[in-house]
Structure 1
Amino acid sequence: MSKPPASRRGLGRLAVIAGIAAIGVAAVAGPASAHVTINPGEAEAGSYARLDLRIPNESDTASTVKVELTLPADHPFASVRTSAMDGWKVETKKATLATPLDVHGRQITEAVSTITWTAEDAEAGVQPGQFAEFGLSLGPVPDAVGTTLVFKAIQTYSDKTEAAWIEDPPAEGAAEPEKPAPTLKIVAATGDGHGSGASDEGTAGHDEAAADSGSDSASDEAKPALYLAVGAGAVALLALILAFTALRKRSS
């Protein structure tokens, strides 16, 4: 059997290169898909932390209409508040504590265990290509510096499918799970008064700073993946241009 002309072999190699580049784009873009996270990811021990539960919609056809968040039972919060959201209703459930919490001389015997946000209808839900932030104020943050708290979340779509963000953080050096649960790391108080946990009302300035920090950190986290995806896309485009240019030269 005769070999194909050299020109065809050359075009074949260029096509292979273009295909590999395109696969590279998919490989890079895949891990960049967003997870459900708590922002900022750290809170000072003893503080009343202002946090956002960030919910990205990963469906192309359905909206997110329900989010159920389970708070860590081993480190309960005496105070849990949610921010108002247009088109959504919120429900909290409490559980009796095995060991009461002593907060400013008061014995707290039960604490919020789950928070459920439900959209009034599919139109009010988080649409494809969007994300939403569900505001929380939690405190006082347990005095357990270095501990990572795990918040498990169930995301429900308008087509009745669910995404369970409940997998525990991986051990050091292990691969990240497909559906990791949102986490919050407890850090030492800075000594500027934010970690005192005196009252919810006294943390307005800290709340605003925390919210701003969460927004910035999310952008910073997304930048490396975005740069890699753009770079891989440029390589794929260049390979395709070279392939078509070679094809036109050989045709002429």
Structure 2
Amino acid sequence: MSTTRTHTRSRTALRRAATVTALAAAGLFGAAGIASAHVTVHPESYAKGATDGVLTFRVPNEEDSASTDKVQVFLPTDHPVLGVLVHPQDGWTPKVTTTKLKTPVKTDDGTITDAVSEITWTGGKIGAGQYEDFDVAFGQLPDSTNQLMFKTLQTYSDGKVARWIEAPTGGEEPENPAPVLKLAAAGDENAAPTASKGDSDAAPKAAATSGDSSDSTARGLGVAGLVVGVLGLAAAAFAILRGRSTR
């Protein structure tokens, strides 16, 4: 075999390996981008009527040339979340808006006529490639619905507003999905642990479990992408050595 043909085969093998590696990397980063592009609530589910828990709203910044400087989360009032408290967030100033309920809610502590309908955080900054977690404690979740949708507006320093307000339809995720918390019947395996008054850490632990699961998935994708890339480069090296041995 001529030296020219050997070099040609080597270059072809290298190009193929590079293509495989590039595609693997593109798929990896594409999947990561899809998974983290929109505002989400954690944990993803709770038991109906759960008490004394925490919801974490994760807000990623998806703009390269602007930072997020305002976040507005709207809480439903048709199925209100009772006893809302906002956790202090370094650099951010929260504003809590309450609304009079059309239908008061009867509890063991009395009748509730007002509930939080909006929480707005301002004054902070989420830079490119970063995210911020906003923790909201609650006294009680409703038991009269299967899910809660928290419409969210994310404002950037350049004036752009990302409107995470769309509800899922037909099992498909919309382009701008709102954070959705699923509510399962007590005892359902899909429900997050209900925090009791003596165990205020139960909800954060559930949120951490959800985050760990996402991290594991991301790590799995990363390993898979690296394996594919290494296999591609190994194939190229084998082709080069084989070509040299046949000169």
Q: What TM-score results when the alignment is normalised by the length of structure 2?
A: 0.79
Give the AA of the match of 2:75: L
Query: Do the aligned residues in 2 keep the contact of 1:78 with 1:103 (CA within 8 Å)?
Result: no
- Note if 1:135 corresponds to 2:132: no
In structure 2, which of residues 45, 48, 52 is the aligned counterpart of residue 45 of structure 1? 48
Give the AA of the match of 2:211: A
Query: Do the aligned residues in 1 keep the contact of 2:53 with 2:202 (CA within 8 Å)?
Result: no
Give the AA of the match of 1:66: K
Give the AA of the match of 1:113: S
| Aligned residue runs from structure 1 range 105-184, under 5 A | 106-119=110-123, 124-144=124-144, 147-172=146-171, 174=172, 176-184=173-181
* TM-aligned CA deviation for residue 210 of structure 1: 0.9
Deviation by residue 1:89-139 (Cα, 9 ceiling, x = unmatched):
0112222322122223633333211111112xxxx4123333222111123
Structure 2: distance between partners of 1:22 and 1:186: 41
Structure 2: distance between partners of 1:106 and 1:209: 26
Give the AA of the match of 1:110: D
- Structure 1 unaligned runs (5+)? none
What is the Cα-based RMSD across aligned positions, in Å?
3.0
The sequence identity of aligned pairs, in percent, is: 37
Query: Do the aligned residues in 2 keep the contact of 1:21 with 1:239 (CA within 8 Å)?
Result: yes
- Note if 1:97 corresponds to 2:97: no
Query: Do the aligned residues in 1 keep the contact of 2:167 with 2:178 (CA within 8 Å)?
Result: yes
Query: Do the aligned residues in 1 keep the contact of 2:20 with 2:228 (CA within 8 Å)?
Result: no
Structure 2: distance between partners of 1:31 and 1:109: 44
SS at match of 1:112: strand
- Structure 2 unaligned runs (5+)? 188-192
Query: Do the aligned residues in 2 keep the contact of 1:45 with 1:140 (CA within 8 Å)?
Result: no
Deviation by residue 1:59-101 (Cα, 9 ceiling, x = unmatched):
3443321111011232112321101112110112222322122
Structure 2: distance between partners of 1:58 and 1:219: 22
Query: Do the aligned residues in 2 keep the contact of 1:70 with 1:151 (CA within 8 Å)?
Result: yes
Structure 2: distance between partners of 1:23 and 1:88: 40
Deviation by residue 1:161-196 (Cα, 9 ceiling, x = unmatched):
332222213433x3x334322111112335xxx86x
Query: Do the aligned residues in 1 keep the contact of 2:68 with 2:127 (CA within 8 Å)?
Result: yes
Give the AA of the match of 1:114: E
What is the match of residue 190 of structure 2?
none
What is the match of residue 221 of structure 2?
228
What is the match of residue 71 of structure 1?
75
In structure 1, which of residues 183, 186, 189 is the aligned counterpart of residue 183 of structure 2? 186
| Deviates most, 84-93 or 127-136 | 127-136
Structure 1: distance between partners of 2:232 and 2:15: 8
Query: Do the aligned residues in 2 keep the contact of 1:37 with 1:55 (CA within 8 Å)?
Result: yes
- Note if 1:209 corresponds to 2:202: yes
| Deviates most, 151-160 or 83-92 | 151-160
Give the AA of the match of 2:186: A
SS at match of 1:90: strand
Paired positions, count: 232
Structure 1: distance between partners of 2:25 and 2:176: 22
Query: Do the aligned residues in 2 keep the contact of 1:144 with 1:186 (CA within 8 Å)?
Result: no
SS at match of 2:229: helix
Query: Do the aligned residues in 2 keep the contact of 1:22 with 1:233 (CA within 8 Å)?
Result: no
Structure 1: distance between partners of 2:232 and 2:215: 26
Structure 1: distance between partners of 2:229 and 2:103: 59
